[in-house]
Amino acid sequence: MNSADHTPRREFIRSLGTASLAIGAVSGLAAQSIAGKNKESAYGKPLFNMSGYAAPPLEHIRVGIVGLGGRGTGALQRLLKIKGVEIIALCDLRESQIAKGIGLAKKAGHKPDGYHTDPEAWKKLCERKDIDLVYILTPWHLHTPIAVFSMNHDKHVFVEVPAATTLEECWELVNTSEKTKKHCIQVENCCYDFTEMLVLNMAQQGYFGEIVHGEGAYIHDLAELILGDRFYQKWELKQAVGKMGNLYPTHGLGPICQVMNINRGDQMEYLTSVSTNDFTMAQMIRDKVGQDSSLREFVGKPVNGNMNTTTIRTVKGKTIVVQYDVSSVRPYTRIHLVSGTKGAALKYPLPARIANGHEWLNEEEYKKLEEKFTPPIIRKIGEIAQKVGGHGGIDFLMDWRNIDCLRNGLAMDQDVYDAALWSSVTPLSIASVADRSNSVDVPDFTRGNWKTNTPVDLSLKTGGNTVVLE
């Protein structure tokens, strides 16, 4: 073959290279646009700093619950155990779930009204004047709309994770909470896990030295459940279709952010994210569609990859790794690794362990540290929480603590900036993956207040009047 024969091939290769550069440029511009639109300067100064804010006390808290699936029914049962709470209204599309919820409430002496059938019936609940707190446990796409509507109607909000699914929604939560001075609390139960709270207390008392790195995850084989009937109208599968990133970051990320004082002394600066292809879910859909016709609409559509790994760098030069995988055959883990200049902690694989040298401390040494550093809230309510239940008691511990803060006018352990920042990892990871894992800036939802905001108070003072009912 002579040199002339190479010319068409060279031109073809050159054209491919030009096309690749063009695609990369478009993808890069898209990622820059996503990050650029959310720089804090584009949103002006904060209207009010909700970090450390203590709302006027509410001795008697009147609650409306929106969403009565598994999570919602569990939340209802927990709230019925807390003194000072009155269940005023329940909302769900399914009349059967409303009837079940009203039955549970009546047994505990409550008389809630029910809202169902109408997809926007939740608005009627949120508009009521006799409700102080709206607890939102719906599919993800409704979290922000209901939270914003509730705050604009003079309600505090507890919202399931993730609190938002887009950066625009994250900012909407922040701006609405600041404008209304209503709490928007993402109910991240893993922040109230007994081990995570022990490690947080140890970190705040300097046991690990300066924390320089943390790792968290949500790795949980849920493929069969996601494709089954557990999630109403397969809403979680719909979330996974056509997206590639970390869709559920907060369980692993939240406790690490608290340990590293993110939003309260340090701030995320940028992240990079990489995902595998999907090697299981699309095939499972094809295999199961014969037995479940509701899966037909998902056949042939791209599904989120099995594993996403997102690496975050903070303003102070520290790093966080957070992973997400709900479709691989692996044992459950949230990892929860904390690494400091004087020591480290690791929760998974169980049992949890602590180190202050080259090897993990033995069980006896761990027990001594546990006795010394167990936070006051666990000493006060931990045993009762385990009896009430909810992921081993952490759900009840979380609800009890949040209700106690509202009843006694105390600052909340989490705030709207945490809800927005932790949730923002989803759209930011999607943007990074789409841009060949290039870095994406993380918005500062505190708009500079992270420099002076104080860390979570692990003395966890309580009003002492929020008791657990029989």
| Digit-coded pLDDT (tens) for 257-275 | 999 999 999 999 999 999 9
Task: Report the relative pairing of strands 156-159 and 184-186 from DSSP bridges.
Answer: parallel
Q: How confident is the model at residue 5 (pLDDT cuts 50, 70, 90)?
A: very low
**Which residues, other chains included, contact 227 with Cβ-Cβ below 8 Å and sequence gap of 6+?**
234, 237, 281, 284, 285, 288, 292, 295
Helices (H), 112-266: 121-127, 143-152, 167-180, 194-204, 223-227, 235-240, 250-259
The predicted model scores a pTM of: 0.91
pLDDT digits (tens, 9 = 90+) for 58-84: 999 999 999 999 999 999 999 999 999
Closest C-alpha among 313, 163, 133, 152 to residue 250: 163
In the chain, ranges of CATH 3.40.50.720 domains: 61-189
- pLDDT for 24 equals 38
For residue 387, how many other CB atoms are within 10 A of its CB? 11
Confidence of residue 394 (pLDDT cuts 50, 70, 90): very high
More confident residue, 272 or 233: 272
CB under 8 Å to 223, separation ≥6 — which residues?
280, 281, 284, 326, 327
Residues of the chain with CATH 3.30.360.10: 190-374+416-451
Report the distance separating Cα 56 and Cα 437, nearest Å. 45
What CATH class is the domain 190-374+416-451? alpha beta
Express as a percent the part of the chain with pLDDT over 70: 89
Phi then psi dihedrals of residue 337, to 5 deg: -105, 125
Q: Which class does domain 61-189 fall in?
A: alpha beta
In tens, the pLDDT along 124-169 reads 999 999 999 999 999 999 999 999 999 999 999 999 999 999 999 9
Quick one: what percent of the chain has pLDDT higher than 90?
A: 82
Cβ proximity of 80 and 104 under 8 Å = yes
**Per-residue pLDDT for 11 more than 60?**
no
Q: Which residue has the tokens 């609650």?
A: 63
